[in-house]
Structure 1
Amino acid sequence: MKSIQYFNFQNSLSALNFYEKHLGAKNIQRLGGDDEMFDHMPKEYQVDDDFTMHASFEILGETFYCSDTMDNKKIDNSGAIAVFTFDYTNEADKDKAVAFFNKAIEGGCKATMPLGKTEWSKLYGMFNDPFGVTWMINSE
């Protein structure tokens, strides 16, 4: 058994596009409102073509899920945190963590704690994305 972070967004398509471009998301799978399964649904269950019923994506080899809020209602994702932990002695993992953090900041994410050494971690950093999610890098 494992746990997978599930995000809700007002507009998952926008988040997925941002994550692909600026966080390196891969293997994006999306079930949208334009899927034929919605063709015969009662009127009250019809959704716009760009509505995301469910999506999955991978960042740094980890899987995440997301969907849109019903009627694309605003949602506050503050408090949603995704943490990547890695072995500091593994140079390849350390390089991936640094590149991920830097690419996110270059893409418009806001660093809430610069990437660096702390009392509790040899390499630690946090940033918020435009959708309210906090992403954290933490070496073991």
Structure 2
Amino acid sequence: MRLNPYLSFDGNCREAFEFYASVLGGRMMAMLSYADMPADAQPAKPAEGCSPMPMPLDKIMHACMEVDGVLLMGGDAPAGMYQKPAGTNVTLNIEEPAEAERIYAALSKGGSITMPLGETFWAKRFGMFTDRYGTPWMINCAAEAYASQAA
């Protein structure tokens, strides 16, 4: 079994995933728009009691990126259905402080800082932020004593 984060976006999934791939060195595995959905896979009519969900054809139905053997997935929510993430973070455990600083600086640019990147009792570097796409992140570069617990 594998756990894979699945991120929801408000119409900017393609831009976010292209940015994440450039910063994290990810390899895009899939980038499927709603227009790529086969006609026979589209719902013929909404379920009883539900209003139709608009499917903007140029938006992303499913994106998948591989980074160091881990998959990060996401898609654009149908119009009017997006909800900001709450209670979760995507956590990156990074071995080298310089790499933690580079990634923190790149991903947090244009976002909002929750906790500046710095040294803690458990980490050489740790910081939290929400990026410009609304995704909450934690960057952790564990101290040697805690490195086995961060993996």
Q: Which runs of 5+ in 1 are unaligned?
A: 88-92
Q: Percent identity?
A: 28
* 1:34–1:56 CA distance, 2 compared to 1 (3 A): same
**Is the aligned partner of 1:94 residue 2:92?**
no
Aligned length: 133
Structure 2, unmatched stretches of 5+, are: 47-53
Q: 1:109 to 1:44 in 2, by over 3 A?
A: same
| Residues 25-62 of structure 1 deviation map (CA, whole Å, 9 limit, x = unaligned) | 63222111121613774554883321322111245664
Name the Cα RMSD after superposition. Answer: 2.7
* Residue in structure 1 matching 2:83, options 75, 97, 114: 75
TM-score (norm 2): 0.70
Which structure has the greater CA radius of gyration? 2
User: Normalised by the size of structure 1, how large is the TM-score?
Assistant: 0.74
Structure 1 distance, partners of 2:43, 2:102, is 47
Change (3 A) 1:132 1:99: same
Once superposed, which parts of structure 1, at least 4 consecutive aligned residues long, lie more than 6 Å away?
Answer: none
Amino acid of the residue matched to residue 68 of structure 1? D
Cα distance, 1:95–1:77 mapped onto 2, change above 3 Å? same
Tell me if the contact between 1:10 and 1:68 (Cα under 8 Å) persists in the aligned partners. yes
